[in-house]
Amino acid sequence: MARVRRGGYVIEWFISDHVPAHVHVYDSRGRFLGRFDTARMEGIEGWKPDRKLRTVIQSLKDEGRL
């Protein structure tokens, strides 16, 4: 498992987790917000993440972290 804090979010992912490739997102207080599909860049199961989170996820992908 890997975890990173960025932009007021805690983002964690598991190596060899089930498809689709996704991360688990928590707020800065540790409350679960939802799961984010990193391939399609959208929330899973009807969750609508904000633009700020999308930017954070994209920067992690650009850095090669995801």
pLDDT of residue 14: 87
Q: Could you give the 3-state DSSP secondary structure of residue 55?
A: helix
Residues 24-36 as b/e (b if ≥16 CB within 10 A, e otherwise) read bbbeeeeeebbbb
Note whether 33 and 11 are within 8 A (CB): no
Q: Is the pTM of this model over 0.75?
A: yes
**Which one-letter amino acid corresponds to residue 45?**
E
Per-residue pLDDT at 55: 97
Tokens encoding 43: 């929330």
Which residue, chain included where needed, has tokens 């930017």? Answer: 55
pLDDT score of 66:
86
Give the residue numbers spanning the domain of 56.
Answer: 2-62
pLDDT of the chain, 66 residues: tens digit per residue: 899 999 999 999 987 767 778 999 999 999 999 999 999 999 999 999 999 999 999 999 999 988
- Give me the number of domains the chain comprises: 1
